[in-house]
């Protein structure tokens, strides 16, 4: 099956992914030339403000966008197989089996009229030739594995009879049901309150260790990222503007937008802030993205050169899309994050 058998071939390799939608106002590009890789067992976190295109990226990987209005370009290879060219029949065999999705809002992610046990068993039976009762038994085991109290009774509950945290656990159990190689989690904690968030993150970490699944974790919460990610990609207006190992990004962020994100991490116990206080303004909507650096209208350090597409600069495997050179970057970062980094 596996065409690329080299040892360190990534599990998922996305090259030059672009996504555009046809809307009433013509074609708009929501994702522009995005590339990233996920290794086996790795947790990659994609961060960015609301509307930066995180969900759209994930949905295009899974082929879940409406094909009539969505145009996807680029190359996505998963274990050596090309997802974008794959016929829907084949892609269906991967979805839910080798790639599991945990969606943004657990309150609406489950069909209201079926019990959670039924819904998990349905997924198992879609991919494996097992009896109903065997599938239900597996569902109970999975519910126990994600820490749902009383799993045997919980399997007969309908979604509306569970709390948000319990539903999210059920959704995670479902995503895990066929031992996927890759879990894509679209803001799995955003809709939950803080204590439940921490539990769900712990659960994801534990599952990575127990099941060995790689995880793409999408979020706009830098606190979440700091807790679990191995690598971090920062997304802004449909582009990945900075990529690097988690420590590198937190210690020496390279992009002015990342500086803003860092400066806006709320204190652990403090209230969450609705906006990013250190970055004025709003991210552009897809139809209004400027041709050069998309961040320029909000960037304190913008200059004439920023009207061109910014070059990629790198320090080891830490890369950034920005005109600032190494020396200037260090100075400006110190001026923005000085105390924060020192602390």
* Minimum CB distance to ligand ATP smaller for 68 or for 89: 68
Q: Is 322 in the site for ligand SF4 (CB under 6 A)?
A: yes
Closest C-alpha to 117, from 93, 92, 141: 141
- With binding defined as CB under 8 A, does residue 93 bind another protein? yes
Min separation Cβ 335 and another protein, Å: 43
Binding segment toward another protein, per CB under 8 A, in 5-13, 105-113, 288-296, 332-340: 105-113
Q: Which residues contact 22 (CB under 8 A, 6 or more apart)?
A: 69, 71
**How far apart (Å, rounded) are the C-alpha atoms in residues 192 and 208?**
21
* H or E element at residue 261: helix 256-263
272 CB contacts (<8 Å, ≥6 apart)? 266
Q: Is 256 in the site for ligand SF4 (CB under 6 A)?
A: yes
Residue 293 in the binding site for ligand SF4 (CB under 6 A): yes
Among 179, 285, 312, 335, binds ligand ATP (CB under 6 A): 285
> Which runs of E-coded beta strand occur in 162-280?
182-186, 214-219, 231-236, 239-245
Spatial contact of 245 and 310, defined as CB atoms under 8 Å apart: no
Q: Quick one: which segment of 34-42, 43-51, 93-101, 202-210 binds another protein (CB under 8 A)? A: 93-101
Q: Give the whole-angstrom CA distance, residue 136 versus residue 315.
A: 50
The contacts of residue 207 (CB under 8 Å, 6+ apart) are 145, 146, 172, 176, 183, 213
Q: Is 112 in the site for another protein (CB under 8 A)?
A: yes
Binding mask 295-314 for ligand SF4 (x = CB under 6 A): xx--x-xx---x---x----
Q: Which of 36/295 has CB closer to ligand SF4?
A: 295
Q: Are 216 and 76 in contact (CB under 8 A)?
A: no
Is 326 an interacting residue with respect to another protein (CB under 8 A)? no
Question: Is there binding between residue 158 and ligand SF4 (CB under 6 A)?
Answer: no
Q: In angstroms, how far is CA 325 from the centroid of its own chain?
A: 29
Cβ closest to another protein, residue 123 vs residue 319:
123
Other CB atoms within 10 Å distance of the CB of residue 128: 13
Q: How far apart are CA 284 and CA 155, in angstroms?
A: 44
Residue from 64, 130, 144, 196 binding another protein (CB under 8 A):
64
Does position 286 interact with ligand ATP (CB under 6 A)? The reply is yes
With CB under 6 A as the contact rule, which of the stretches 48-56, 170-178, 209-217, 296-304 interacts with ligand ATP? 48-56
Region for residue 62 given its phi and psi (left: phi exceeds 0; alpha: psi -120 to 50; beta: otherwise): alpha
Which residue number, 184 or 299, has a Cβ lying nearer to another protein? 184
How many residues touch ligand ATP under the rule CB under 6 A: the total is 16
68 binds another protein (CB under 8 A): yes
* Interface with ligand SF4 (CB under 6 A): 255-256, 293, 295-296, 299, 301-302, 306, 310, 322-324
């Amino acid at each position: 099956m596996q065409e690329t058998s080299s040892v360190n071939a990534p599990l998922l390799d996305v090259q030059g992914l672009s996504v555009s939608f046809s809307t009433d106002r013509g074609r708009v590009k929501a994702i522009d030339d995005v590339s990233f890789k996920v290794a086996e067992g790795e947790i990659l976190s994609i961060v960015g403000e609301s509307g930066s295109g995180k969900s759209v990226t994930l949905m295009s990987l899974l082929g879940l966008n409406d094909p009539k209005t969505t145009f996807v370009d680029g190359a996505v290879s998963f274990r050596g197989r090309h997802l974008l060219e794959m016929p829907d029949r084949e892609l269906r065999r991967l979805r839910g089996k080798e790639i599991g999705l945990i969606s943004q809002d657990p309150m609406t992610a489950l069909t209201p009229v079926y019990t959670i046990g039924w819904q998990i068993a349905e997924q198992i039976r879609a991919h494996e030739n097992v009896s109903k009762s065997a599938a239900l038994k597996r569902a109970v085991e999975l519910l126990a594995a994600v820490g749902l109290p009383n799993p045997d009774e919980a399997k007969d509950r309908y979604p509306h009879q569970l709390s948000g945290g319990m539903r999210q656990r059920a959704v995670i159990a479902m995503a895990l049901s066929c031992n996927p190689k890759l879990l894509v989690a679209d803001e799995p904690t955003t809709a939950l309150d803080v204590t439940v968030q921490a539990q769900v993150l712990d659960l994801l970490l534990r599952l990575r260790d127990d099941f060995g699944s790689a995880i793409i974790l999408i979020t706009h919460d830098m606190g979440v990222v700091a807790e679990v990610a191995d690598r971090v990609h920062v997304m802004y207006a449909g582009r990945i503007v900075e990529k690097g190992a988690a420590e590198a990004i937190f210690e020496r962020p390279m992009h002015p937008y990342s500086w803003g994100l860092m400066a806006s991490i709320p204190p652990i116990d403090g209230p969450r802030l609705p906006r990013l206080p250190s970055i004025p303004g709003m991210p552009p909507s897809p139809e209004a993205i400027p041709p050069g650096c998309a961040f320029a209208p909000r960037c304190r350090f913008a200059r004439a050169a920023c009207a061109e597409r910014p070059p990629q600069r790198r320090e080891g495997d830490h890369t950034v899309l920005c005109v600032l050179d190494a020396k200037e970057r260090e100075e400006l970062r110190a001026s923005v994050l000085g105390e924060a980094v020192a602390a």
